[in-house]
Structure 1
C-alpha cells in the first residue's frame, strides 16, 4: 500500500471510530457502578498534579518533593498546549538538555548535564530500555520523565547524563474521543486520534492512538512522512491482579539534513540559510525507519503493603540509511573542513538492513514494614537485557564536489554494500535492592545497590572483508545513597552520592582502531538539592552537582582512547506549576562548568567540553485571559550561551535567543468542546547554531527559522 493511501486509511478508520457511538464505551454512569476494589488498582492518580509525581527517580511513582534527584516531568497536556510533536521540542523546556548530533530526519539525540546519552540504554519506555535511533512517537505517551544525572541504580548501564523515560498512555476510566489536526506553513500536515475507555465488562480497558504526518521540514527538501498506530489494553483479573499489554508500530521515511563544517576548518560558515539542504542530489533517498514495541506488565497486590510487578518489552528496529554526505575538502586537503569558497566533498553513504531487536524484562517486589521504630520501603528485583544488532559493510564512496552556496549535481557511486550480518550480541543481567528508611518523622535514608553482569560480543569489520570477534565480560557494583530532610512538610533538602556505568564509546571509521568499542566506563556523582511545594500546584527546586568520568577522544596518534577526566559541575534552578489562578509558569536555568583534565595533551587540558553552553535558560508562560472566556496566551524564551565546537576549543559559536508566541481558544462546536491553537516559533526569525557536535569530526546544525503552526483539537 502506498504511503498516502495508508495514511488516509488509518485516519479515516480512526475518525469513523471517534464519531461512532460505540456499544462498548464505558460512560459516566458505568463509572459510578464500578466496584471500589477495582478502582483502587486501576486508578493510580493522586491529589498532586501529574507533573509533580514521577517514577523515573526510583522504582515506583512518588512525589517529586520526596525524590532525592533532579527530575523533570513534561505532561501530555503541556505538549498539547504547546503543539509539541517530537521530543526535540519537548526537551527545550529543560535547560540541562541539549541537542547532540540531532540532524533533521534522523535520530533525535540529546545530552544532559553535558553528557551525550547512549542510544541503546538512556531512552526508556515505562522504565524499560529501548533504542533511541529514530524519533520516538509521543502520540501514545502520557508524559516524558527525565532523570538528570547518574541512573546506575535505576537503569543499570546508562550514560552519566541521565535517562529519558516515556510513560505510555493507559486505558481511561471514562470514554475518551479526541481528534487533533494541524498544519504548518511549509506544508506539514498532521492528524491524530486518541480513543480510550472500558468495555461493557469493565474489567477490560483500551487506549488506541493513531497518527499520520506529512513532513515538510524547515530545511527545504528534507521532506517525508510518518505513520503511527498503538494500542494499550488492561485486564483486571481480580481486585489484586492487573495485566497490561501495549503495542505500537511506526513507519517514518524522511530525507535527512546533514550539517555544515568549518570553512578552511577554521571559520564558521557565513551567509548560509537554515533551510539549506546539503543532501540535495537526484539520487538522494529518504532514511526509512520502522520500529515497533510489544510490552507486557503484570501487577499483583498481596495486601495493602506488598505488591509485585513483572514487566517486559520486545523492541524491533529496522533502518535503511541513505545520505549524500558532506565531508571535507580534497582540493585543500582538509579532512574535516569545507573549502574556503564553500566547496565540499560529497560521499555516497548507504547502510541498508540495519536492525536491532533488544528484549528487556524486569521483576521486582516492593513492600512496607517496620523494624522497631524504623519504617522501611523496600524494593528488590532482577532485570535482564539482551541486545542483537545486524548491519552490513556500508558504502562510503566519493561522488564529487558541491558548494554550500551553489549546489552542484554529482553522480552516484558504484559502491555495493556487503552482506548484512550480526554486529553485536550483548547480555546484561542485574540484581538490585533499595531501602528507604524513615529514621524519624523528618529524616529519610535512601540506600540502594545494583550488581550488573555484562557479557558482550562485538564483530568488528576490518579493512579487508574479514571480521574480528571481540568478547568482553564485566561485572559491576553500583551504589546509591541519599539522605532527605524535611524541615517542614512542603520542603525537602537532600544530599546524594551515586555511581554509574556506561558502555565505552566506539572509534570513528577513520581512527586507527576504527569501529572498536572501548571498555565500560565508571562515573561518580555528588549532588545536593532543595525542593519546595510553594503551593500544591507550584514547585521550585535547586540542585548543585558534580559528575566525573573518563574522557574519550581521538588522540594525536589517531587512536580513539579514554584518557584523563571530564568533570562537570553545575547549578540547576527550576519552577513549575501554577503561579496564580490564571498563570502557569515553567522556568529552567542551568549553569555548567565542564572541564577536561589529565589527558596528556596540552591542547585539551583545561578546555571546555564541546556543544555545551556554560549558561542556558528556558522560560515558558501560559496565561488564561479572564476577560475573554476560553482564551489563553502563551510565550516561551530560550537562551543559550556560546559553545565550543572542538575539544581544543579553537572555535566557539555565538550565544542565541529564541522566542515563541502562541494562543489557544476553547469553544463549543456542535455541542462538543473544541480547542483552536496557533503558535509562532522563532518569532524574530533568528539564525543560530543549535547543535555543534564534535561527532564524526564535527558538524554544525542551524536552528529552525520562523514557523507558524495552527491546530484544532476536538473532544467528543
Structure 2
C-alpha cells in the first residue's frame, strides 16, 4: 500500500503576457514585463491518492512464466476558488493492472509481451484558462509492448521492443476551459545494448523511433499531428574503455542525437535536430589507505548551440494556441573532481 497528498497553490493574480514574436534561432531580448505578485497565493486544489498493490510471478516451467500485477486506486480531488470556498469535489476509484508473458526458447533469449491498463491523476489547468489551477478527473492510459532480449554472453545484453501507449489529451479549448479532448497515441520501436563487447570496451546505449500523434481532437489543425516537443528519432551511446597499462584508468565518450521537434499543435513550427559529444576519464586508486577516484569531463565538446527541451506552454497541458516553451542546451563545460570513499 502507498499513497500521497498533493496540494496545489497558485498565484491569486496569475496570467499570461505576450512579449512579442521571433524565431527560436534568433530570439531578441525583450523588456521585463510587469509581473503580478506571485507571493500572493491561494490554495487551489488538493489531491489524495491511495494505492493497494499486489503482484506475483507464476513460473510454469523453465521456459514459460507470467508476471501479474494489480492495484486498486482511490482518488479524492478538491478544487477551491480564490475566496477559499470549495468549487468542486469528486471521488474516483478504479483498478489498474498489467500482465507480462515471458518465453525462453533457449537459455540466452527471452521473448515477452506486456499489457497494462492504469488509472492516473488528472492534469492541472494552466494559468490563463478559465479553470486555472483546477485538477481534472483521473484518466486511464493503455499500453501494449512486445519485445526480445538476447545475451550473446554473460556481460552483454541486447534488447528490442515495439510498443503503443494511449492516453486522453488535455488542452485549453476555444471556450477558454482546460479539458480533456481527443487522444494522444505513441507508437514506437526501441533498441538497446548494454555490456562488454571486448574485455576492455563497454557500451551502453541505443536508439528509438517514436510516432507520437494526436487523434480525434476538436481542432482540425491539431488532429493527426505530432505531439509538441517529442522527436521522431533519438539515439545515444556511451563507450567506456579501460587502459590495461594503467590499472584503474578508463576513458569514456558519449554521442547523443535528438531529431527535430514541433513547437505547436499544428506542426507549423519546428526546432532542428542536434548532436552532442561528451568525453571524460576516470582514475581509481588508493591514497593514504582510502579509495580515491579522480574524474575529468568535458561536455558538449563542439559547443553546439541547441534547444535541449521543448515542452507545452501550459503546466501539464497545452495553451489554447498550442504554443511551447524551450530551454537552451548547456554550452561546452569542463569539470574536474576528486572523490574519497571513507
Same fold (TM over 0.5): yes
Out of 279, 284, 309, the position equivalent to 1:691 is 309
- 1:655 positional shift: 0.4
Partner of 1:700: 326
For residue 159 of structure 2, the aligned residue among 528, 541, 550 is 541
CA contact (8 A) 1:388 1:422 kept: no
Between the two proteins, the alignment pairs up a number of residues equal to: 329
Q: What are the within-5 Å matches in structure 2 for residues 226-375 of structure 1?
A: none
Query: Conserved in 1, the CA contact under 8 Å of 2:44 and 2:133?
Result: no
Q: RMSD over aligned Cα, in angstroms? A: 2.6
* Cross-structure match for 1:160: none
Whichever structure has more helix as a proportion of its residues is 1
Would the aligned equivalents of 2:121 and 2:138 in 1 still touch at CA under 8 Å? yes
Question: Alpha-carbon deviation of 1:492?
Answer: 0.9
Segment of structure 1 superposing worse, 421-430 or 688-697: 421-430
Per the alignment, do residues 453 and 575 of structure 1 end up closer, same or farther by CA in structure 2, a change over 3 Å counting? same
- 1:10-409 pair list within 5 angstroms: 383-389=1-7, 391=9, 393-394=11-12, 396=14, 405=28
Q: 1:427 aligns with which of 48, 51, 60?
A: 48
TM-score (norm 1): 0.43
Q: Which runs of 5+ in 2 are unaligned?
A: 315-322
2:99 is aligned, of 473, 478, 481, to: 481
Note the 1:378-527 alignment, pairs <5 A: 383-389=1-7, 391=9, 393-394=11-12, 396=14, 405=28, 415=37, 417-418=39-40, 422-461=43-82, 465=83, 467-527=85-145
Offset of residue 481 of structure 1? 1.6
1:626 to 240, 244, 263: 244
Checking the alignment, whether the CA contact within 8 Å between 1:634 and 1:663 is kept in structure 2 is yes
In the TM superposition, residue 550 of structure 1 has moved relative to its aligned partner by: 1.2
Cα deviation, residue 400, structure 1? 11
Report deviation, 1:714: 2.3
- Partners of 2:143 and 2:297 lie apart in 1 by 39
Gaps of 5+ in 1: 1-382
Partner of 2:339: 713
Structure 1 contact 429–453 (Cα < 8 Å) conserved: yes
Q: Which residue of 2 aligns with 1:297?
A: none
Whether contact under 8 Å (2:14, 2:38) holds in the other structure is no
The structure-2 alpha-carbon separation of the partners of 1:460 and 1:538, relative to structure 1 and needing over 3 Å to count, comes to farther
Q: Following TM superposition, by how much is the alpha carbon of 1:457 offset from its aligned partner in structure 2, in angstroms?
A: 1.6
Match of 1:639 among 257, 262, 281: 257
CA deviation map 1:289-337 (0-9, x unaligned): xxxxxxxxxxxxxxxxxxxxxxxxxxxxxxxxxxxxxxxxxxxxxxxxx
**CA separation in 1, counterparts of 2:3 and 2:110?**
35
Secondary structure of the corresponding residue to residue 619 of structure 1: strand
Q: Given the superposition, is the C-alpha separation of residues 399 and 500 from structure 1 closer, same or farther in structure 2, using an over 3 Å criterion?
A: closer
Q: Deviations over 1:336-364 (max 9, x none)?
A: xxxxxxxxxxxxxxxxxxxxxxxxxxxxx
Deviation of 1:641 after TM superposition, in Å, equals 0.6
Name the structure with the higher strand share. 2
CA distance 1:670–1:394, change in 2 (3 Å): same
Select the structure with the greater relative contact order (CA < 8 A; seq sep ≥ 6). Answer: 1
Within 2, Cα distance between the matches of 1:545 and 1:448? 19
| 1:557 is the counterpart of 2:175 | yes
Sort the Cα spacing of 1:409 and 1:457 in 2 relative to 1 into closer, same or farther, 3 A: closer
